[in-house]
Structure 1
Amino acid sequence: ILSPHGEPGMNSTSVTHFVLGAYMDIGLLKYPVFVFLLLWYAAILLSNLLLIAVISRSRSLHEPMFVFVCALFVNEVYGSTAIFPMLLSQILHEAHVITRAACLLQIFCLYSYGGTELNMLTLMSYDRYLAICRPLQYSSSMTPTKMAALMALAWGHSLLMNLFITYGLTGRLSQCRNVIDKVYCDNFWVVRLSCSDTTVSNIFGLVNVVCRLLCVITLILYSYGRILRVCLRSSKSARQTALSTCVPHLLSILNFSCGGLFELMQSRFDMSAVSTPLRIFLSLHWLTVQPLASPVIYGLKMTKIRLVVRTLLSRK
């Protein structure tokens, strides 16, 4: 294992581990922090798995909107499982070290989670556009076959793209330094610590981010622009019905976008002016807050889900 101050001139083949340098020495507070994070992770698993089971078992919820929501909950379980076990393990250890193979695997899981989340939220905005703006064609436009194809595209695109980025681009780089100034593995940092030519990785990463954001922002703005136009022309009851399904989705987009935006800024700009505890919290926001926010937002705001959960609990 290299020292925390791994020098650029070191032999690149000696880097088999990375040091996560953003962990602070909090002394005995690490035990309360460990318990808090453990309970948070348990709440994420419990809430998401409960709603997955509710949607799967209830025939009244076998509609495109709820199927997409269910897929979103599956992704929250996937993303939280990629970060929490490692966080809990690192908090209790004095040496915050991770192997290079485990680091690349975590990068793949975290970024494929983020990509799938973005794809699913975009897909859900398109679903709301069809349901509200083209209700007569909705059943023919959103058939089970088309739903399955869209979800396969959302998951497949993210998994294949991040597989190529993580192992095709980042994984081939030789490392000269090994200190990642974060509490989890980050693709940008691994590229930054490389002694290889990173031109291809940097250009591809920048083009991918810009194209992805442009496509997502354009589709979401177009969908909600048309929805707003229809709502303004509709009756009050129709507007309330539309809002009851759109508000949870908008809150979810806003929450994830804020966390993702800071993570993007932290990767590309110098954030040394921001205090370390705040920087750690904001960098973890998209990975720890979103997985619990999604089931809470959709479970409380979507009337159908809330009523089914209440009915099942009352039967129990």
Structure 2
Amino acid sequence: MEKMENSSETVSFVLAAYGNIGELKYLYFIIILIWYLSICVANTVLIVVIRVDRRLHEPMYILLCNLCVNEINASTSLYPLLLSQMFSDSHEVTVPWCFLQMCCMVTCAPTEFCSLAAMAYDRYISICHPFNYNVIMKTERVFLMILLVWLYSFLSFIFSYSFIFSLKFCGNIIHNAYCDHQLIIRLSCSVPIQSFISNISFLLLSVFIPFSLISVSYLKILRVCRKTSKENKQKAVTTCTPQIVSVSNLFVGCTFYFIDFTFVVSRVPNEVRIILPMYVLIFQPMLTPFMYGFNLPKIRQSYQRFLFKRK
């Protein structure tokens, strides 16, 4: 590992996970490009469908648009860098760009959980307090919720990991395909105790608190559904299933991210150790538009009118 005396001499980081992929870089480039464009198109189409169809101008679908925006943002924070590195000989990323990617990627995590928490709250009000729904979930209040979601997510990152910007680095080789904040911290000349505390605080703010709100909302929905008609139960299941699948998939991705593969390094292929931590950024952005597009009847009908409209 290249040694350096202080952070002022660290002008770039080297992403060592690419190695010598040879002619395979063309295949990887095409696969990644197609997948990234598919994510952008799928989420953009869903946003446009909701924007065009006035029947979908409801709090639930406005919050869904915000979730789709975050999927595009999360994908854009990762895939363009992967694509640019495919044809790079040095695999270097300047420190400012690396920090920018780190900031975007880390901020996307609480935004995802908080957006799902807001959507769970919307479903709770809709199912448990239907007569007060229009009063509680006013359009102005929904946009305020979205603003608070992004502000809360950004402040969570600043509170937990802003200390990284002032670290002094004694190495510049990141053994990953992107600027992982955990690996950046390990490159510092002296890893501060603040690193452990920041991880705990970030998990608390970004995962535990939003997930607690999601759990409370769905427990209350479940309690109400037990006493309602079969038709209302079916309606609740239809509208809540995509969110439950999204939350479950997020936890699978978080598990893959926090697993330390070093203790089974001889048994786990290098490609697996690189891809699994990116599981959420690979599958979640595509899962969202398809889960909501195919499971919510109103959106499915709007898709059909939007894509197959005949004169």
- Provide TM-score, normalisation by structure 1: 0.92
In structure 1, C-alpha distance between the alignment counterparts of 2:205 and 2:48, rounded to whole Å: 36
User: Which residue of the partner structure matches residue 311 of structure 1?
Assistant: 305
Cα shift readout 1:207-235 (whole Å, capped 9, x = no counterpart): 23135433123212211111122222222
Residue 132 (structure 1) shift: 1.0
Letter of the 1:288 counterpart: I
User: Which residue of the partner structure matches residue 34 of structure 1?
Assistant: 29
Aligned-CA RMSD value:
1.9
User: Which residue of the partner structure matches residue 177 of structure 2?
Assistant: 183
User: Which residue of the partner structure matches residue 239 of structure 1?
Assistant: 233
What is the SS of the residue equivalent to 2:257? helix
User: Which residue of the partner structure matches residue 144 of structure 1?
Assistant: 139
Maintained 8 Å contact 1:12/1:195: no
Superposed, 1:67-146 pairs within 5 Å as: 67-146=62-141
Question: Aligned to 2:209, which of 215, 235, 239?
Answer: 215
Letter of the 1:283 counterpart: P
Are 2:148 and 1:153 equivalent residues in the alignment?
A: yes
Residue 282 (structure 1) shift: 1.0
In structure 1, C-alpha distance between the alignment counterparts of 2:140 and 2:173, rounded to whole Å: 47
Range with greater deviation from structure 2 (61-70 or 9-18): 9-18
**Amino-acid identity (%):** 36
Residue 289 (structure 1) shift: 1.2
Identify unmatched segments of 5+ residues in structure 1. Answer: none
What is the SS of the residue equivalent to 1:234? coil
Range with greater deviation from structure 2 (40-49 or 17-26): 17-26
Maintained 8 Å contact 2:7/2:167: no
Are 2:20 and 1:25 equivalent residues in the alignment?
A: yes
User: Which residue of the partner structure matches residue 280 of structure 2?
Assistant: 286
Change over 3 Å in CA distance of 1:211–1:162 after alignment to 2: closer
Maintained 8 Å contact 2:156/2:202: no
Maintained 8 Å contact 2:16/2:177: yes
Residue 287 (structure 1) shift: 1.2
- Aligned pairs, how many? 309
Residue 204 (structure 1) shift: 2.7
User: Which residue of the partner structure matches residue 301 of structure 1?
Assistant: 295
Residue 197 (structure 1) shift: 5.2
What is the SS of the residue equivalent to 1:76? helix
Cα shift readout 1:35-79 (whole Å, capped 9, x = no counterpart): 011111111111111111111111100111111101101111111
Identify unmatched segments of 5+ residues in structure 2. Answer: none
Question: Aligned to 2:9, which of 5, 14, 23?
Answer: 14
